[in-house]
A and B are shown apart, each in its own frame.
Chain A
């Protein structure tokens, strides 16, 4: 298969999967098999693009013109491939987990759940492969819409409220700011193609560039930069598999991915680094990073704590991008991958605890590690990765970000990273401590097997990432 066909197939596979799933609604076993098979095929297709990209190939595909002069186009470059690889790989594991979780909870409307999941994944990969800003925006919105039914899955009043905040913030930032920024960019530059080195150099005054940068950075609400971060805690009303794959990996990573993409391919690192008024991005992301950590400290609900931790970790990526040093861009890219593995493990663990014991609060977790050793073991590994302790994935990416910050003399960024590491330890380690060293309450065992398999796999991935970062590192290096 030529790479062009592979791109097409990788995006069409989940769509076909969605259709088949909706027909197989009556037979749960068939339905779940279809989900798993679809996920595996999709990952295989995405992975088969890896050698092409490593050889310096940039396979591309133009589907057709949407507006005159503005095609729907795809181009696979290292950053996009990395995002697509992670999303499609974790979808396989997450599907295993979903089967255990959704069945253990006797959730209703499981067919709709799996259909929307497949649609969300199709959108994510289309975002990853987008060749211009219009294409990216089209699927960015598709991702928002397709995840809305997942967020409101419970159908309760609380879910409705959460859904309102979710949709309200994501749509108003993207329609209100991002859309404006894209049309404006198109008018200034005459193109919105992702071009190495950027498309805005010498096309507009520093003031206009500054305004555009702000429109982009806040318009990409999925990156959860403060003050547009509230949708992420609100999205926690969703079933845990949704929080795990979508609100720790696909959706939020689509956000920071877009930010890196815009900085590298629309503005260009060179253009931004000579501009005096782009420093604010560093400050606002540093502020979000610390603030979200402090808020996380005070959350007793486990999923909310994880959500605030995600907000903080997303800002690592934004801040690393804003440092604008080649090494920190590598760090940002790696952190997209590293955080994905760690955070999905943490959510898996949270869902596992809830499935067995119906505990949702941090304060209820005393001694749970003895009853659920696999779950809490995985949780501990995920937590260490968030803090950035070897031998976990988080260490590698933090190392690069720090290195980049030191190289370019951004002492402030270095201070923020150190401080936040302490805060991360402050809100994760007590949970691990209480789980293993406090007295246990309640009688229950380990979670159902699919759940345990899933979280063990991702925890193993987090550790393996530390020892074999090569796959992702090579991709990230190609970026600069």
Chain B
């Protein structure tokens, strides 16, 4: 048996050749994505809802051979906002980070444009509403990808029995399952009368007047339904207008029928109000109803989620879209875009909606009639009109159409609810307007 001996020269040559081959060879992967990807998702309220995003990401990662790590970051005590701010400062952190409403504009300079992903998703899933464009686009570029998890409409969730008994309104008749709303009579005047009747009967509407989002969103929709803008889309001050005066006069009348402690309410207070059976209506996504299903089933089976009352300038419902942002300092942008495209597929969206029990709302027009909303109950069909399937209301966000960086200040500092409260507590209307104008002037600094 002969054995060929490897000379030193041959060994060096073989090593050099194999090294050269390894270095120059194309980086072969199954798709255009590879390497590692770090994701920061919003930690969902609904138990088990995170499982769907985890499963979808893992499914994609296995296919694309990408190593992924996911952190679920709570929005309790503004943790997710702090994370966004910290990563933007450090220019390091997750590749993809979930951010809501104002954050794409706030960190526009540090976000990678995602036109290719969003345009493809729109082509597939239908057009997005105006609020998503307003919050997600700047100078024609998409700053972030509309995310289904977390996106929500904060419309009325009414007690069927109490509204029928005390206000004479059959909300199921106004918003029947499987057919368009017959809600022409559901306007701001009817709403005010119903608020008064229910308050007198001991079941006041649970609308907060605090400084957290639920309170601000309701105030925003009321202002918009009167055409009231504090700052217009060009960035001009429009506080001292008749529309703002009308909105405030209406808001003051409504405040008189709300619980006296509403100025101190936070985003949990209205949920508790409904679940405890003390209120006939709150403005909230179906999370309160979902908790009631578990803790107070007799309340849950009387809940009906429906559209906002119409004002003189139209019917507006508060909509809070969430986005997935891709940092410009991400080291794996191609993989990130591939994942975001995957999460925006109709099949992925359907899974998000089902896992959240209908809470999550896709931003796309063709995705508002999924079976989850028709089937969820009790009562069956309670969420049918939650995703605005007939577009009978304009989805909007408080403080719009002011330029987003100004609107964010109006929103975060709860200027609208503060105006209503100041006026309702006896301040002269013109003084309230002067105060708001001063505040808005301050918000315009660049």
Partners in one complex: no
